[in-house]
Structure 1
């Protein structure tokens, strides 16, 4: 089980590295960051999630927890959809809100069906990962905190996307 936690943490660090490179690429092409004031809370939430997961797992002694194959299958499915989200957005995938009127909104892949698929995936992960380790408190607390943060993040992102759309339409009419 500790191997799985390690893999998830490494995966998140790799994703942060990808996001940093994509941020640099977008900003070099006129990308502008929005929603900076709440971004730190996502970092804090995810760091605390892993700390809580590790502490609760250690207190419960997960060495005797048997793998729940259904939860593990859900976890694998979320990872496949997560990768689909990242691949679909390509250079535009980021953990921050970065906008530019120079680029069109991506509306293919999972974004063809759902506006914010990655937020849904993260919400599911925040439930499933702790349940795999018998960390029931973590499985309840962090999805709630995630949803609360999304009440700030999604409107901020929607406002930024509307700004891009308005800017693009204004440029097309002139």
Structure 2
């Protein structure tokens, strides 16, 4: 099997996204350590391995689907999906910036801490902005190279995980913040 240039570029995009996620885990670990040192309380740790597995499967699934099913780059729609995926990445960093040292991949609340109300978290009508972006990125990233099965499966499983576990856990945890 010979990989086309567009497939190799797509694999590069996925690997770069994976490297970025590893960097996020480093930042998250540092921030979680600080939170625990400040008396932080963790909520819902049980669903974290499922979240990590799902996000890893998104990246691996997109690459495998493109290679196994010989998915073609869709031209203009692929470029649009790439722009959306890059926009989602920019939004992720906006969220990380807004939450500062309170940002991490776990749900850790420092008793008595104040709720963040800057950046996207100043928009009272937009609840959980990061998860909206994750949902959009979960469609856009695989669709850059027509990996629609990965996009559909990730979106369905992500909805179950977010709506059934993560968002209710966060809502419960954040009730105590000022």
TM-score normalised to structure 1 length = 0.88
> Displacement, 1:66?
5.4
Number of the residue aligned with 1:65: 73
Give the counterpart of 1:13 among 19, 22, 25. Answer: 22
User: Counterparts in 2 of 1:18-167, with a 5 A limit?
Assistant: 18-61=27-70, 65=73, 68-113=78-123, 114-151=126-163, 152-162=165-175, 164-165=176-177
> Displacement, 1:117?
0.9
- The CA RMSD over aligned residues, in Å, is 1.5
Is the partner of 1:46 in helix, strand or coil?
A: helix
Moved more, 121-130 or 46-55: 46-55
In proportion to residue count, which structure has more helix? 1
Contact preservation (8 Å) 2:41, 2:111: no
> Displacement, 1:65?
2.0
Contact preservation (8 Å) 1:78, 1:121: yes
Contact preservation (8 Å) 1:60, 1:134: no
> Displacement, 1:80?
1.2
Number of the residue aligned with 2:13: 4
Moved more, 66-75 or 78-87: 66-75
Q: Which runs of 5+ in 1 are unaligned?
A: 169-174
Question: Which whole-Å deviations, capped at 9, do the CAs of 1:104-127 have from their partners, x for residues lacking one?
Answer: 010110111222111111101110
Contact preservation (8 Å) 2:42, 2:109: yes
- Misfit runs of 4+, over 3 Å: none
CA distance in 2, matches of 1:147, 1:136: 16
TM-score normalised to structure 2 length = 0.86
Question: Which whole-Å deviations, capped at 9, do the CAs of 1:125-169 have from their partners, x for residues lacking one?
Answer: 11001101211100111011111101211111111111x23xx6x
Contact preservation (8 Å) 2:79, 2:144: no
Contact preservation (8 Å) 2:11, 2:63: no
